[in-house]
Chains A and B, each alone.
Chain A
Amino acid sequence: MNERDLELLSAYLDNTLTAEARSAVDARLLTDAPLRRELDTLRETKLLISGLPQLKAPRDFTLTAAMVGGRARTLPVILSPWVSALSAAAAVIMTVLGVITLNVRPSALTSVASAPTGTMTLQPQIAAPGAMATESFEVFTPTLAVQGTLDLPFAGDAPPVTFTPSPDPAAAMIFGAAETTVSVPASETQAVGGAGAAAPVAPMATMGMATAVMESAPAASAEDASVAMMPPPTLTEDAARAGSAMDALEASTPMPAMTTQAEAMQIAAPTMTVAAAADVLATATALPTQPPTATSTNAANEDGIDAMNGVGTSVPEQSAIASSTPSPASSTESLPNEGFGGATLFLLAGILFGFALLTTLLRGRR
């Protein structure tokens, strides 16, 4: 008996042949006695096997808590598909929020600029003698974070600007190659000598590979300050192509006279200059004011220092500042560090994704 006939007969016994194939086998069985005998013996064999009785288990196979690790399935709650799904969903949300956080910076500045307290407005006002303006700011770079307090030189016995560099990997991760953020927290400012509102400063400058984002919302009470009001500056926005940074600049309508040049950094010049390494974001005509003398003790990162020098230069120009007591409601405090926030969100998203993946894998193993 060949293999094919054996398979045909076996399938015939199980009634799994097609009608056509079964008819063909039936036709052969009528004339082929060996085939018929083969079929009979296979049928008897199948009956003998299927006639084997069901056995009784020699003992109970019930489980005890000890046999299953004594944990009576507390783990499945953690490994529930819902947990994995919720973790994955939360991770997606975190990722989206992280992206939004990073991309929203210009618009955030814009919204802040339009806020009642006012930011991004550079008022060309000169502070009264003796008035002191204090600006604290942070500079984030991939390798350097500079933090310090700038006491403006015109504001009486102002100490030199001091910076405290510290690496900030989170900011580095988010900002990529090189992005520098200079943020000048607010002090409460009231313009004196007119209805002019206080002048927060929020210039942004792209410095070559680095972007210097200076957020400033100073608001200093200037009760006794005599302010020499400067003509409202006009902002030349021929650098509108600069993208998001320009969005913020566009929002700050009365912009102070300010010239941003890639080539030069002229702190002492009557014309305020913010030097950027490559890209020029904005060009404005600066009105002569007191030359700033702010200096930095940190020379580790030229880009960062440049950015800070730019801050130091620009601050006096909006110096309708009499007192610099930081307000709890200072706008800088309310402004999150987008880079750090984004990094945190991405980190959380990664953790949640990992958790979702882990629970899925563990559930599959079980």
Chain B
Amino acid sequence: MVSTVDDTALIARAKRGNLDAYNALVLRHQDSAYTLAYRLMGDPHSAADTVQDAFISAWRKIDTYRGGSFRAWLLRIVTNRCYDVLRGQQRRPTVSMDGGRDDDDPEPLELPDAGETPEAAALRRELQRAIQQCISALGEDQRVVLVLSDVEGLSYDDIAEQTRAQLGTVKSRLSRARAAVRDCLQGVRELLPGGYRLKEDA
């Protein structure tokens, strides 16, 4: 609530042309924006470039912000920018199902998790990388819906609005995306935590 109030004050100043106020908003939301972009793009470089473009675009469009969640408004711009980039570039396979990764891509930085052993941290990162690869293997439409739903926690209605799709289409894409990721993860079941039926059924 406090954050929302502060956002409102900063937005009001940013609308009056105060770039410092807008940059305060950038600092506040840049991790969320980058996370979304990375989940959608699957590539840290592209994600960073897209997020930078999105923040510039948001600055130029800030007069169109009409209240509500600034984060949701901002993530919508990020999503649209990612959509544009994904559609603009030639589809290229970003996933090799053998679990390999592009060593040129730097490891995305995570927020620190204190008390975790190095081995556990390494295993967790490997699982996360596998999940990301499975997500990146999805088609663009399914990927966007899956990330907005299961990563960002948006409702069906919000996803339909952001992706300009029908509600039924969103439900269909989401169910198929989950099933596809599930099937994809069968290939890395050794990484799955114990107790997962997903592992047992494999």
Which residues of A are at the interface with B, using a C-beta cutoff of 8 A? 1, 3, 6-7, 9-11, 14, 16, 37, 40-42, 44-46, 48-50, 52-65, 67-68, 72-74, 76, 79, 363-364, 366
Give, as a whole number of angstroms, the nearest-CB distance from A132 to chain B.
68
Complex Cα spacing A16 to B171, Å: 10
> Are A53 and B19 in touch, CB under 8 angstroms?
no
Which residues on B sit within 8 Å (CB–CB) of A64? 19
Q: How large is the interface on B (under 10, 10 to 19, 20 to 34, 35 or more residues)?
A: 35 or more
Contact between chains at A366 and B60 (CB < 8 Å) = yes
Report the nearest B residue to A366, measured CB to CB: B60
Would you call A54 and B156 a contact (CB within 8 A)?
no
Among B3-11, B86-94, B107-115, which stretch is in contact with chain A?
B107-115
Q: List 29 A-B contacts (CB under 8 A).
A: A3-B175, A7-B172, A14-B156, A41-B182, A41-B201, A42-B178, A42-B179, A44-B196, A45-B179, A45-B198, A48-B131, A52-B151, A53-B128, A54-B31, A54-B35, A54-B110, A56-B109, A57-B30, A61-B52, A62-B27, A63-B23, A63-B55, A64-B19, A67-B56, A68-B60, A72-B17, A72-B19, A73-B17, A363-B63
- Given known A7-B171, A41-B198, A76-B63, contact A60–B26 (CB-CB < 8 A): yes
Query: Measured between alpha carbons, how far is A46 from B182 in the docked complex, in Å?
Result: 9
User: In whole angstroms, how far apart are the Cα atoms of A14 and B185 in the complex?
Assistant: 21
CB pair A63 B22 closer than 8 Å: yes
Residues of A within 8 A of B201 (CB): 37, 41
Q: A49–B150 contact, CB under 8 A?
A: yes
Q: Which residues of A contact B100 (CB under 8 A)?
A: none
New contact pairs (4) apart from A58-B44, A62-B26, A73-B16, CB-CB < 8 Å: A37-B201, A49-B178, A53-B110, A61-B48
Checking A10, A50, A65 against B174 with a beta-carbon cut-off of 8 angstroms, the contacting residue is: A10
Contact present for B108 and A55 (CB under 8 Å):
yes
In angstroms, Cα B27 to Cα A56, docked, is 11
Is B68 close to A, CB under 8 A? no
CB contact list, B7-55 vs A, under 8 A: 15-17, 19, 22-23, 26-27, 30-35, 38-39, 44, 48, 51-52, 55
Cβ of B59 within 8 Å of any chain A Cβ, yes or no, is yes
Q: Which residues of B contact A16 (CB under 8 A)?
A: 156, 171
Query: Inside 8 A of B172's CB, which chain A residues have their CB?
Result: 3, 7
Q: In the complex, which residues of chain B have a beta carbon less than 8 angstroms from the beta carbon of A7?
A: 171-172, 175
Chain B at the A interface: SS class: helix
Looking at A42, A44, A50, A64, which has the most chain B CB atoms within 10 Å of its CB? A44
Q: Which of B31, B151, B175 contacts A6 (CB 8 A)?
A: B175
Contacts A53-B111, A55-B34, A57-B31 given; indicate if A65 touches B135 (C-beta within 8 A). no
Q: Is B181 engaged at the interface, CB distance under 8 Å to the other chain?
A: yes
CB within 8 Å for A55 and B110 given contacts A14-B156, A45-B182, A49-B135: yes
Residue among A1, A55, A73 with the most chain B CB within 10 A? A55
Taking the closest CB of chain A, its distance from the CB of B35, in whole angstroms, is 4
A295 to B175, CA, bound (A): 95
Asked whether, in the complex, the Cβ of B26 is within 8 Å of the Cβ of A63, the reply is: yes
Is the pair A55, B35 in contact by a Cβ cutoff of 8 Å?
yes
- Kindly list chain A residues whose C-beta atoms are within 8 Å of the C-beta of B55: 61, 63
Q: Closest CB of chain A to B190's CB: distance in Å?
A: 14
Whether B35 and A58, one on each chain, are in contact in the complex, defined by CB atoms closer than 8 angstroms, is no
Cβ contacts under 8 Å, A6 to chain B: 175-176, 179
A3-B64 Cα distance, complex, nearest whole Å = 39
- Whole-angstrom distance from the CB of A207 to the nearest CB of chain B? 56
For the complex, give the distance between the alpha carbons of A118 and B182 in Å: 97
Residues of A within 8 A of B67 (CB): none
B residues 103-125 near A (Cβ < 8 Å) are: 106, 108-111, 113
Known: A52-B132, A54-B35, A62-B23. A37 touches B178 (CB 8 A): no
